[in-house]
Amino acid sequence: MIKIFRAASLILSLAIPHAAGHADTLTIESSVIALHSEQADIQTVGKLTYQGGLVLSSSDGNFGGFSSLDISPDGKTLVSYSDRGYRLQADLNYDSDGNLTNLSQSALEPVYGLDESILDKKKNRDAEAMAHLPDGSEIVAFERNHRLLKYALDSKTPTLITAPEGLTNAPYNEGIEALTQLPDGRIFALTQGMGDDDTRTGWIGTSDRWDALQYSFEDGYEPSGATALPSGDILILERRYRYVSGVAIRIRYISINDLNAATPETILNGALIAELTPPFNIDNMEGIDAISDSDGTIFIYLISDDNFDPDDQKTLLHMFSLESDF
């Protein structure tokens, strides 16, 4: 996906040590960005209110390509896996109004495979989605070599999760792009390019049993991420790219009741939460997560994949609050 824009604002340079075992430092440049490139006073879109956004960059050649997102329940920590098989972890900082301001204490670590070695081939390390589990482990969906790997807390070596039947038949570069765990423990997975002209294939279940489902494919918007709300409802992040108009994104909502009632023949069609097109400051958004505070307010975070093309694309991190009556 290609989207060109420039952000002019304060640069925060963070010299931060990598995770344990590395003596290098990771320098992240973080600049605050407005929601709208032409009207800085615009703070709402659809059912979302902007809570701050950042343009992130680093001289580290492995920084970028972030296609998944997890935010800790307290909103303090970010985790994202990249197309090059790296795991980013960073602390999130906010101002007195709760708006996102910058990152700190960042670490970028390579991801390991089943043979206990670092994933070093593109077909094996293209991580596109993740689901964070209550025990601290993370399930990561890889495409090209389509599979699900589970990384336990404090362990670099994963275990192989039994994937849904048919996943290996997904297009080479269009496997599982959306992955999240529901409160009841089931996993929701959705592919980007598997399906027909009107649907995209997905599944819900566990490694013991996956039930197929279909998701409506409309207006050229492909699924690129998913997150479960405390209710079990799901938000789907979708992304579209057109040469003339550039990149556009939208977020759609599927209720847990519709999920539970779905059969392989049912076509799930989510309700629109928000649609962002230029001149909103967006890019190739591929990661989404949601958390809620003690008052029940839901906060949504989005991250973009710059495809390691910093001249034309950016790594963006946006934060929103969601209307209570969505």
Convert the pLDDT of each residue in 22-75 to its tens digit: 424 588 899 999 999 999 999 999 999 999 999 999 999 999 999 999 999 999
Confirm whether 5 is domain-assigned.
no
Strands 271-276 and 222-228 come out as: unpaired
pLDDT of amino acid 22: 41
Which residues have a Cβ under 8 Å from the Cβ of 264 and sit 6 or more positions away? 211, 212, 213, 214
User: What global pTM score does this model have?
Assistant: 0.92
Which residues have a Cβ under 8 Å from the Cβ of 99 and sit 6 or more positions away? 51, 52, 319
Burial class for 324, CB neighbours closer than 10 Å (0-12, 13-18, 19+): exposed
Convert the pLDDT of each residue in 149-166 to its tens digit: 999 998 999 999 999 999
pLDDT of amino acid 178: 98
**Which domain range does residue 82 map to?**
11-322
Q: Compute, in degrees rounded to 10, the torsion defined by CA atoms 255, 298, 203, 120.
A: 170
Convert the pLDDT of each residue in 189-203 to its tens digit: 999 989 999 999 999
Q: Is the bond leading into 230 cis (omega within 30 degrees of zero)?
A: no
User: How many domains, in total, are found in the chain?
Assistant: 1
Convert the pLDDT of each residue in 48-59 to its tens digit: 999 999 999 999
With bands split at pLDDT 50, 70 and 90, how would you rate the model's confidence at 185?
very high
Q: What percent of the chain has pLDDT over 90?
A: 87
pLDDT of 137 strictly over 80: yes
CATH number of domain containing 60: 2.120.10
Average pLDDT of every residue of the chain: 91
Confirm whether 33 is domain-assigned.
yes
How far apart are alpha carbons 266 and 15 in whole angstroms? Answer: 50
Alpha helices in 248-295 (DSSP H): 256-261
pLDDT of amino acid 17: 34
Handedness of CA 277, 254, 163, 151 (dihedral sign): positive
Confirm whether 250 is domain-assigned.
yes
Confirm whether 122 is domain-assigned.
yes
Full DSSP string of 196-234: -SSEEEEEEEETTEEEEEEEE--TTPEEEEEEE-TTS-E
Confirm whether 6 is domain-assigned.
no
Confirm whether 302 is domain-assigned.
yes
How far apart are alpha carbons 172 and 170 in whole angstroms? Answer: 6
pLDDT of 8 strictly over 60: no
pLDDT of 14 strictly over 80: no
Q: Give the type of residue at 126.
A: D
Query: At which residue do the structure tokens 């995770």 appear?
Result: 19
Convert the pLDDT of each residue in 241-264 to its tens digit: 998 889 999 999 999 999 999 999
Give mean pLDDT, residues 221-226. Answer: 97
How far apart are alpha carbons 253 and 237 in whole angstroms? Answer: 9
pLDDT of amino acid 25: 59
Confirm whether 96 is domain-assigned.
yes
Per the CB < 8 A criterion, the answer to whether 246 and 239 are in contact is no
- Three-state SS at 194: coil
Of 11-20, 265-274, 288-297, give the lowest mean pLDDT range. Answer: 11-20
